[in-house]
Amino acid sequence: MHQFDEDISLTPQEQSFFTGTISDNWSINGNPNGGYLMAILANAMSQQSDKKSTPILTANYISRCAPGKANLSVETISQSNQFNRFQAKLFQDGKEKTRATGTFSDEKSGCYFERFEASAPDISPLNECIQIPPIPKYTLFNQLDARLEPESAGWMKGHLSDRSEQKGWVRFKDDRAFDIFSIALIADSFPPPVLASQGMVAWVPTIEFSLNIRKIPETKWLKCVFRTRFINCGLLEEDGEVWDEEGSIIAISRQIAQFRKK
């Protein structure tokens, strides 16, 4: 079993309840990554659904989680011929930490029609990109091979950009194949785009994270781009695109996060 599969695994309890363990293998500065938490919640909802395809997921991060035991509950919102909708809650120490909704569909019958009014990001070859190195307390990058476009990586050496943008390549170091759970992780795996223009800001905690998965990729690497355009009143948005190596859109995302300057 791949490490990621082990770390999102859940044990069913009574109907619609699960237990699991939040691992410290997917942390950012010691805190469990938001995409990793979304993957756990998506796993719980998926186990309740007879429809498994291309979900729409939204997570609200109510308070900080920590590595350790967790309890989850799943509530069915609605079921139809096309969609199943659920709400999932994650608890630690008796307190709700994260709440998510998920919409799951049948296998798509409309995939024969595609119209892209944007294309995959232009990213330098892998050997020209800068791999994010292992960083203490940032265990996520012990598990993922994430390589940034040189223009996006200047902030690591104090060279700032005019644009709040991060783009590059990513894959699992253990070559795990991609699925809906891992795409939730990948869509939250890059450094915040605001670092490119503002440097190492004090804090950019996610408040809400929404993800629409369009298809499951078959390529080894994924190409990602994340952008922030507006920072004001202590908030910012992060819009993301995840593409496969063949130029097909895999997922689109939006996060709303707090912004705190040092």
* 168-215 tens-digit pLDDT: 999 999 999 999 999 999 999 999 999 999 998 877 999 999 999 999
Lowest mean pLDDT among 44-53, 112-121, 223-232: 112-121
Residue 10, strand partner residues? 20
Give the Cα separation of 188 and 132 in Å (integer).
15
What is residue 214's predicted lDDT score, i.e. its pLDDT?
Answer: 93
Average pLDDT over residues 108-119: 76
What is residue 191's predicted lDDT score, i.e. its pLDDT?
Answer: 95
What is residue 56's predicted lDDT score, i.e. its pLDDT?
Answer: 95
- Cβ proximity of 65 and 97 under 8 Å: yes
Residue 114 belongs to a domain: no
Task: Find the CATH number of the domain harbouring 180.
Answer: 2.40.160.210
Give the Cα separation of 239 and 256 in Å (integer).
9
Residue with tokens 């709440």: 99
Residue 9 belongs to a domain: yes
Spatial neighbors of 81 by CB under 8 A, at least 6 apart, are none
Domain of residue 78 covers: 3-107+122-258
Residue 115 belongs to a domain: no
What is residue 110's predicted lDDT score, i.e. its pLDDT?
Answer: 59
Structure tokens, 2: 């791949």
Average pLDDT over residues 220-248: 97
Flag whether pLDDT at 109 surpasses 60.
no
Nearest to 245 by CA among 120, 85, 130, 157: 120
| % of the chain residues with pLDDT over 70 | 98
Query: pLDDT tens-digit profile of 26-80?
Result: 999 999 999 999 999 999 999 999 888 878 999 999 999 999 999 999 999 998 8
Average pLDDT over residues 225-244: 97
Cα dihedral sign, 152-208-145-180: negative
Residue 112 belongs to a domain: no
What is residue 11's predicted lDDT score, i.e. its pLDDT?
Answer: 97
Average pLDDT over residues 8-34: 96
Counted domains in the chain: 1
Kind of pairing, strands 10-12 and 83-92?
unpaired
What is residue 135's predicted lDDT score, i.e. its pLDDT?
Answer: 87
Q: pTM for the full model?
A: 0.95
What is residue 111's predicted lDDT score, i.e. its pLDDT?
Answer: 66
Query: pLDDT tens-digit profile of 132-146?
Result: 988 889 999 999 999
| Arithmetic mean of pLDDT over the chain | 94
